[in-house]
Chains A and B, each alone.
Chain A
């Protein structure tokens, strides 16, 4: 039983990271119907920026977290302006392929600049473990949960309560009508990229603290898994992405705990296939009728 509870904790910390990443996927998809495959690499940029602020500028953990979020927001907007904006009115497949190109550019660009070596992330917070009855939780894990929850609440407030959030929601329903109502389309898109990328940057720093190892290819697998999480939750749905992320985290953990560790990635991708076959709009997605 204690093992099972401990596995829940493990799954929750992994799932929180996937949730933060999946949110970026889902928000961008909701607004401009683009699967931003470069999102995982923005997460990698976040981890590296955190690494440098701590190592060279001697920031504390929160300084690194916030500066990395700001940096990633800027990077996300920059990617949007350079790579996606000129293609806004072209077919969706063009943008999708561009996203893959951006992803390769970021991975190989970072490999060129910083080599493909794995680096150890400077541990600014001394790790402490707390025994909570049958389970053990470390302060880094708690930090991951709390940061994720705060960011989720913040996101919910931004989307539901602010003017910008209302613009985002309007864009998601009907971009043309939103533009006619005087909503600043390109500003709203840039804002969406900024928010999504900032969440990815936060995830990057948290992962760096948690695993103590970062490299330029680190965004690849988590990026794809976060995409699966977004699809599972219903792509375009913000609560769906958060829950999808946690579910994927649990699924991976459970597969490892029953001794099928070699198949944990296969299990995640099997979920993608099953969801697409059985429930293409995901757990929380809107079922829309395709007009022909």
Chain B
């Protein structure tokens, strides 16, 4: 009886899916979305909510890149120039909204590639949709180590990212703290409510040659760190490592400096948002270092960055922030994928992204590895009085 029922369900489900598949693929025989006269890129972004700082930056980066490409006539698709149209939708920094936004962009808007979400959790929520719709999605900044892999460690076919992995940030920060800052003892204060915080912390602990004297955790949204900081302060340490997003980093830096913790504070790319400095206060934001894929400081040495930063300054009236740079590169990565594959169909873009080699972007030279993780250089930025004063490039 049970088996019969199940079989009935299965048959019904199959019929349903066959019917729906019939709906979505009308004219073309192949899977995925085909490009029309314009190349539609869906932007699934954190435009409001806790991670809106990153989302807004990325939106700016995408706008700039699309504007530049269209000003030059568009993308060369097998000899024919096609313009790009970016469709922006807000996922409200929520995993559930992010999944529905992805479905909307792939099935309703017929986007041939998705850019975003900016954060790992919201990004992970869109993976099933991207795989099912056969539309590649490129997150500019989802840095969790296993983001592009499924539970068994196999590569998710349609998932890519433009940034390096968290462990790379953790490892680099560990080396930098030990070699450059000469910190032999480190205290860690990490966000354990996100894959981001836990992932970086794990890598840092493993790679750090000195001693980790204290490791304490908090939840995203916490505002009171006074008691954790008081107990950390009583320990003897040379540097404080806080892999977290900017809202909490800002509050922690403020409370740490006010509690009299004068040691250098290290963080990851979650720190690269001006809001952090606003919350912490300029006077407190000194002797702070963070790992990041990009800094406008390298405009002095890199002509590509200098051109990008100038254009960004002209359009938005400020130096280009990290996430804008990553999103800007993401658009160009999709462009390059289309040009090498000579097609703007979603399945072909996927192949182009997987084969991406020696792509010259503002965040460094990028080559996609077999696991869809880009290989690129990393920069460490130093803050003094709320201003970025120095960038160290680590290969």
Contact = CB atoms under 8 A, between A and B. Distances in A.
Interface of A: 2-3, 6-7, 10-11, 13-14, 111, 115-118, 120, 123, 127, 129, 136, 138, 207, 211-213, 215, 217-218, 221, 252-254, 256-259, 261-262, 265
Interface string B204-237: 0000000000101111010110111011011000
Contacts of B383: none
B231 A259 contact: yes
Chain A contact surface mostly: helix
Interface in B86-144: 92-93
Interface of B: 48-50, 52-53, 92-93, 192, 214, 216-219, 221, 223-224, 226-228, 230-231, 233-234, 247, 250-251, 254-255, 258-260, 275, 278-279, 281
Contact of A118 (B234, B254, B275): B275
Nearest to B49: A116
A127 B258 contact: yes
Nearest to B224: A14
Contacts of A256: 216, 227-228, 231
B249 to A, nearest CB: 11
A214 B260 CA distance: 24
B279 A118 contact: yes
A259 B260 CA distance: 20
A120 B92 contact: no
Contacts of B233: 3
A118 B260 CA distance: 25
Contacts of A254: 227
Contacts of B221: 217, 221
B260 A116 contact: no
A70 B106 CA distance: 50
B227 A252 contact: yes
A261 B218 contact: yes
Contacts of A123: 281
Contacts of A11: 227
B161 to A, nearest CB: 25
B216 A6 contact: no
A118 to B, nearest CB: 5
Given A13-B226, A212-B279, 11 more contacts: A2-B234, A3-B233, A3-B234, A6-B230, A116-B49, A117-B48, A117-B53, A120-B278, A211-B255, A212-B251, A212-B281
